[in-house]
Amino acid sequence: MQCAKCGQEVPADAIYCPHCTGERKTTDRQVINGGIRGGLIGLFLGLLPAAWLLFDFGAERGIKAIAFIVPAVTFTTGLIIGLVKAKREWK
């Protein structure tokens, strides 16, 4: 099978032409950086409602736990999303 764009030979089971798209493999460093970036964004987005909860309601019973859980969950979610987005091609 030949690529319509570059005209080079392409394996029959290939979805994209490897010559046009390149290897597109991500390094471990890029995956780690993506996870760190996603985690920091998630942590920042989680700290905003946590600060609002503590400011508005004070450190009442139950509010402290919610104010701790929200940033932890958003950090974890951001970390996972950052890792997945950074890893373009699974090995």
How do residues 28-56 score in pLDDT, each as one tens digit?
A: 888 888 899 999 999 999 999 999 988 88
Q: Chain-centre distance of CA 46, in angstroms?
A: 15
| Contact predicate 37/52, CB 8 Å | no
Burial of 13 (0-12, 13-18, 19+ CB in 10 A): exposed
Range with the lowest mean pLDDT among 31-35, 59-63, 72-76, 79-83?
A: 59-63
| Residue pair 82/44 in contact by the 8 Å Cβ criterion | no
Report if residue 64 sits inside a domain.
yes
Tell me, yes or no, whether 77 lies in a domain: yes
What is the rounded CA–CA span in Å between residue 70 and residue 52?
A: 11
Domain count, the chain: 1
How far is the C-alpha of 4 from the C-alpha of 19, rounded, in Å? Answer: 12
Full domain range(s) for residue 48 = 27-86
